């Protein structure tokens, strides 16, 4: 089965793509890279701070995805979630290993986009949706998540820096993630609904 390189994949298609990856099908690697290569590289660049490190990370992520593919279960989560978790974990591991800390070098909170808009390119539907979902968070929530996700601060470190109780930080992190996930899902539903209305006679 050939996979389109753009547009959303159904969960069944995601599972099938990963099964082909398990089987060592090079086309599956190509399809996966076409969809997520840029996102993985971007995460690498933001966390590791250099194109060479980001390239190396991207290579490692796709090879890790192939090795771990048998463990992917579409019923448990989306392919993008799974792959981005691999990418982020590997980037953080690398930072810990190389620098002894989880502080990313480059990103600043200001870089987290808060301006949203529509884009006609099918291949970045998911990104636009994510950006719109991010805009549903308050500035404080975005900053909190960014401190952890992009700067690698632990809940304890955030609590100490902000002078708020550890339990409160953990609760806020959890709440913000749930809210972000819900906003993204809602964006996806809205997108589908709008699409259906558009094609309706």
Partner 1 sequence: MTCPEVRERLAEHALGVLSRPDAREVERHLEACPGCRKESAELLEGASVMAMSLPPAEVPAPLEDSILGRFRAQSGHAHPPTRIRLRVLAAAAFAAVLLAMSATTWAVVKNKQLDTLHQLIAQKNGEVQGLASAIASFKEAGKTFEADLLPPVRGRGSGTAAIFSAPRTNDLVFVDVVLPDRETGPFIVQVVDGRRAINAGRLHQTVEGDWLLYAFSAEDLSEAVTVTVLNSSTGRMVLTGTVQPYAA
Question: Which residues in this chain contact partner 1 in the complex, by CB under 8 A?
Answer: 24, 26, 29-30, 33, 37-39, 41-43, 45-46, 51, 54-55, 58-59, 62-63, 66, 76-78, 80-82, 84-85, 87-89, 92, 96, 102, 111-113, 124, 126-127, 129-131, 133-134, 145-146, 148-150, 152-155, 170, 173-174, 176-181, 183-184
Least distance (Å) from partner 1 to the CB of residue 196? 23
When the beta carbons of 16 and 55 are compared against partner 1, the nearer one is 55
When the beta carbons of 16 and 116 are compared against partner 1, the nearer one is 116
Question: Which among 72, 83, 66, 77 has a CA at the least distance from the CA of 27?
Answer: 66
When the beta carbons of 95 and 196 are compared against partner 1, the nearer one is 95
Copy the structure tokens of residue 73.
Answer: 């279960």
When the beta carbons of 23 and 199 are compared against partner 1, the nearer one is 23
Residues 49, 50, 54, CA angle at the centre, nearest 5°?
A: 95
Question: Which among 29, 28, 38, 34 has a CA at the least distance from the CA of 58?
Answer: 38
CA 150/CA 48 separation, integer angstroms: 10
CA 139/CA 137 separation, integer angstroms: 6
């Amino acid at each position: 089965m050939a996979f389109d390189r753009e547009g959303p994949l159904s969960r069944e298609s995601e599972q099938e793509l990963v099964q082909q990856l398990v089987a060592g099908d090079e086309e599956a690697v190509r399809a996966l890279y076409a969809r997520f290569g840029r996102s993985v590289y971007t995460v690498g660049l933001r966390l590791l701070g250099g194109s060479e490190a980001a390239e190396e990370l991207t290579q490692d992520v796709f090879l890790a995805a192939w090795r771990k593919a048998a463990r992917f279960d579409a019923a448990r989560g989306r392919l993008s979630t799974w792959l981005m978790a691999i990418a982020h974990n590997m980037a953080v591991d690398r930072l810990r290993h190389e620098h002894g800390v989880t502080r990313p070098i480059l990103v600043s909170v200001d870089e987290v986009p808060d301006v949203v808009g529509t884009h006609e390119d099918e291949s970045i539907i998911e990104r636009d949706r994510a950006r719109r979902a991010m805009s549903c968070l308050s500035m404080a929530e975005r900053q909190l998540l960014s401190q952890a996700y992009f700067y690698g601060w632990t809940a304890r470190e955030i609590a100490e820096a902000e002078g708020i109780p550890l339990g409160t930080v953990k609760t806020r992190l959890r709440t913000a993630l749930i809210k972000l996930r819900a906003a993204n899902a809602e964006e996806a539903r809205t997108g589908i609904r709008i699409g259906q209305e558009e094609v309706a006679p």
